């Protein structure tokens, strides 16, 4: 018997939590864009810390919560986690090959890549909150925090592509901000009809995506612009996840 008491929300609670974090993610994304526009040096300086903190939360959540829950619902969920990781791995390789650069670069293909990534974030909100409040809260917290950095990154990419500042702000918000709630609201009516066994498979797939986002996307990006206390920020994210889980275990 698990020590952690998983709270499975009813349908209304699930939708409210999904809507709250989906809208919050868009607002935080927009905040990153506005702060970069207004306080460029400060925003670029703190971006790495937000990425590291989010990575700490997102690497802890699948290992402690979502993967065990997925396997509990369906014993094949581990295979789906591998599939989710490989899906993200090859998707990013395809984008890099198409843009012929090591980062999500310029133009329509870059915008499509960022939009797909953000849409998948919305799907993660829906699936994890459909499993339990705790899993949803931890996953969503990490994703919302990384939205701040993603807004900065997306805005920067459009600027480097030669788009004017105010138009870059609008495009970045449309591509990276609004696609997350869109993904959440599109997925909700589909996920809410799934059986526990099928939901376990979907959660396994989402777990692989979470691990990839943290280990292969956020951390390398943060280490690429290493800051003095970036490791502390990463461990702070891990500590937050551990604190919430232990509070649930012994509360």
Q: CA 62, CA 129: separation in Å to the nearest integer?
A: 13
Q: How far apart are CA 69 and CA 204, in angstroms?
A: 9
> Residue 20 falls within a domain, yes or no?
yes
Residue 186 lies in a domain: yes
pLDDT tens per residue, range 159-191: 766 778 888 899 889 988 999 999 999 988 888
Q: Within a domain: residue 76?
A: yes
- Total domains in the chain come to 1
In a domain, 235, yes or no: no
Q: Is residue 2 part of a domain?
A: no
**116 in any annotated domain:** yes
Residue pair 181/122 in contact by the 8 Å Cβ criterion:
yes
pLDDT, tens digit, 9 for 90 and up, residues 100-137: 554 444 445 556 656 777 888 888 888 888 888 888 88
Q: Residue 234: CB partners within 8 Å, gap ≥ 6?
A: 52, 53, 55, 56, 219, 222
Backbone dihedral region for residue 162 (phi beyond 0: left; psi -120 to 50: alpha; all else: beta)? left
Neighbouring CB atoms inside 10 A of 134's CB total 24
**Is residue 210 in some structural domain?**
yes
Instruction: Read off φ and ψ for residue 106, nearest 5 degrees.
Output: -100, 165
Give pLDDT tens digits for 32-54. 899 988 888 888 778 878 888 88
Residue 100 lies in a domain: yes
Range(s) of the domain holding residue 81: 11-223
Kindly report whether the global pTM for this prediction surpasses the value 0.85.
no
Rounded Cα–Cα distance for residues 235 and 244 (Å): 14
């Amino acid at each position: 018997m698990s020590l952690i008491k998983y709270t499975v929300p009813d349908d209304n609670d699930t939708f409210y939590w999904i809507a709250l974090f989906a809208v919050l993610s868009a607002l935080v994304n927009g905040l990153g864009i506005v702060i970069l526009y207004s306080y460029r040096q400060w925003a670029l300086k703190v971006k790495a810390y937000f990425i590291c903190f989010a990575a700490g939360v997102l690497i802890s959540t699948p290992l402690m919560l979502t993967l065990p829950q997925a396997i509990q619902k369906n014993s094949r969920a581990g295979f789906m986690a591998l599939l989710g990781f490989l899906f993200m791995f090859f998707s990013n390789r395809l984008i890099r090959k198409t843009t012929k650069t090591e980062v999500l670069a310029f133009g329509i293909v870059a915008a499509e890549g960022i939009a797909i990534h953000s849409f998948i974030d919305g799907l993660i909100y829906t699936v994890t909150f459909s499993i339990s409040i705790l899993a949803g809260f931890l996953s969503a917290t990490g994703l919302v925090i990384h939205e701040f950095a993603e807004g900065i990154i997306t805005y920067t990419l459009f600027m480097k592509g030669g788009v004017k500042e105010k138009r870059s702000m609008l495009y970045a918000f449309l591509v990276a901000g609004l696609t997350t709630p869109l993904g959440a609201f599109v997925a909700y009516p589909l996920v809410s009809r799934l059986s526990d066994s099928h939901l376990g498979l979907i959660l396994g797939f989402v777990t692989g995506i979470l691990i990839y986002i943290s280990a292969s996307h956020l951390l390398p990006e943060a280490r690429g612009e290493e800051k003095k206390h970036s490791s502390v920020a990463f461990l702070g994210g891990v500590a937050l996840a551990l604190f919430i889980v232990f509070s649930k275990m012994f509360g």
